[in-house]
Amino acid sequence: MQGASESPDPWLLTLQHSPIGMAMVGLDGRLLMVNPAMSEMLGYDVEQLTQRGFQELTHPDDLDADLALFEQTLAGDIDSYRLRKRYLHADGHVVWGDLSVALVRGPEGDPLHFISQVLDITAAERERQSLEAIFETVTVGLLLIGPDGRYERMNCRHQETMQLPFPDGHEGEAGQLGHVFHLDGHRRMEREDMPSYRATAGEEFDDYTYWVGDDPATRRAFSTSARQVRGPSGEPLGAALAYQDITDLMRAMKVKDEFVSSVSHELRTPLTSVLGYLELLHDNGTLADDARAQVQVVRRNALRLQALVSDLLQVGQVQEGRLRLQYAEADLTAVVQDAAEASRSLASRHGVEIGVEAPDRVVARVDEQRVRQVLDNLLSNAVKYTGTEGEVSVVLREEPDSVVIEVSDTGIGIPADEVDQVFGRFFRGSGALEQHIPGTGLGLDIVSSIVAAHGGELSLESEVGRGSTFRVCLPRGPA
């Protein structure tokens, strides 16, 4: 420390070169000695600084807290104290310091002076304030949970949204039950399903969606992600959760679904009438040959329209939970053979062969019509996406508790990043779009809902340019 007489004492050398600001402070608060780090931190040279009291170097808003602790130490209530506080730099800007103060007493216990150490934490504080600003500015609710499941921090956004699920307050602990519902809007969430509980149990997830709020008219939908937070050695520190309000998106999707459903209902009746009259026209013996050919074209297109409307209607039924299965014993070998036969005329026009491999008879309790629909969709896709000169094969085999149907083709295949998406409603793959292969993106959605309604599983293996295999595994059915 400058101001002390030259000494080889290693402690003085340490003070001289320490990166931490240090000062000897008199009982009135005046700085008696300071080290270079302290003078650099506050922007005064050592001589200037030693003429000042800490009171005038402290930011006015932090002075009372410091003075109170200073007095308590002098009074002997405490020996030392620690405080994060703001200093005023010589040029007027604020310097954040982490201050430690200890009182030095003489042999009789009488107070002599204070030793203060100040670590400059301005950079860390700036970082903290930036993060704080981001934490509070984002339109996503953010929550930090400790390893014991206690809520440690949340931003205002999250605090506001807690009102809806927990109108009587929240205890600040993961897994508290409230007005939180699964996506169907009816089933209340159990403790194990609550996002906070799952995150505390160590799970990580994305896009976990559900409704909150008791009143269906005002409830909101959330999509939640969770990540585990770990310390420098990988030790668990808890979990971070982000809650995004997706109510508008959910309501827009509902409107879209209702629109599709009502349009398809409205189209069905006139279309049935059009097809009826076309039938009559076609059978009318007085029509000239070229007119009959034209009626045939109209009829073919009206039938395509009818197939589309019926796909849309079925999608609507699944959505409303109205897909009811009519279980009965069926010979799946016959179902597979019939479906293959029905697809052959279209396939042969494209030079595609359809082969079937199946035992003589495979009996299962299923909804036969729906299973036929699954096969028709998979086969028509297999033919459609094989183009020309390819092979399609259907393999039916029995397993102890289930039956497996595989539909394979040697067609265009599906890129790996689309494999998970092809079962989505209205999804059309890049191959289909690039090659202008017509379709609606509804077929596989219908297939997957029928397989799911049977309690079965649907999987897909595919390689671009080589072909695809769709595998349907159905339980043998309820007794």
Binding site for ligand ADP (CB under 6 A): 381-382, 385, 409, 411-414, 422, 427-429, 431-432, 439-445, 468
Minimum Å gap between C-beta 288 and ligand ADP is 36
Which DSSP category does 140 fall into? S
Minimum Å gap between C-beta 454 and ligand ADP is 18
CA dihedral 74, 76, 78, 81 (to 10 degrees): 10
Tokens 């028509």 label which residue? 380
Minimum Å gap between C-beta 412 and ligand ADP is 5
Minimum Å gap between C-beta 299 and ligand ADP is 22
User: Closest residue (Cβ) to ligand ADP?
Assistant: 429
Nearer to ligand ADP by C-beta: 170 or 428?
428
Pairing between β-strand 391-398 and β-strand 353-357 as defined by DSSP bridges: parallel
CA dihedral 35, 41, 43, 44 (to 10 degrees): -20
In the chain, what is the straight-line distance between the N-terminal and C-terminal CA atoms, in Å?
92
Minimum Å gap between C-beta 323 and ligand ADP is 17
Nearer to ligand ADP by C-beta: 308 or 363?
308
Cβ contacts of 398 within 8 Å, gap of 6 or more: 359, 362, 404
Minimum Å gap between C-beta 387 and ligand ADP is 10
Contact predicate 459/438, CB 8 Å:
no
Nearer to ligand ADP by C-beta: 190 or 420?
420
β-pair partners for 116? 23, 101
Which DSSP category does 5 fall into? P
Minimum Å gap between C-beta 469 and ligand ADP is 9
Tokens 């299962």 label which residue? 364
β-pair partners for 22? 117
Residue 27 CA to residue 76 CA, distance in Å, equals: 13
Nearer to ligand ADP by C-beta: 80 or 459?
459
Nearer to ligand ADP by C-beta: 147 or 387?
387
Nearer to ligand ADP by C-beta: 238 or 390?
390
Nearest to 148 by CA among 232, 238, 241: 238
β-pair partners for 21? 118
Nearer to ligand ADP by C-beta: 143 or 442?
442
DSSP string, 378-389: HHHHHHHTT-SS
Minimum Å gap between C-beta 407 and ligand ADP is 8
Residue 376 CA to residue 43 CA, distance in Å, equals: 82
Q: Provide the 10 A C-beta neighbour count for residue 323.
A: 17
Contact predicate 223/209, CB 8 Å:
yes
Minimum Å gap between C-beta 434 and ligand ADP is 10
Starting at the edge strand that comes first in sequence, how are the strands of the sheet with 31-34 ordered? 31-34, 21-25, 111-120, 94-105, 80-88
Nearer to ligand ADP by C-beta: 295 or 383?
383
Nearer to ligand ADP by C-beta: 93 or 466?
466
State the burial class of residue 6 (Cβ atoms within 10 Å of its Cβ: 0-12, 13-18, 19+).
exposed
Minimum Å gap between C-beta 419 and ligand ADP is 9
Nearer to ligand ADP by C-beta: 35 or 462?
462
**Coil, strand, or helix at residue 421?**
coil
Nearer to ligand ADP by C-beta: 35 or 386?
386
Residue 421 CA to residue 129 CA, distance in Å, equals: 41
Minimum Å gap between C-beta 142 and ligand ADP is 37
Nearest to 25 by CA among 97, 99, 92: 99
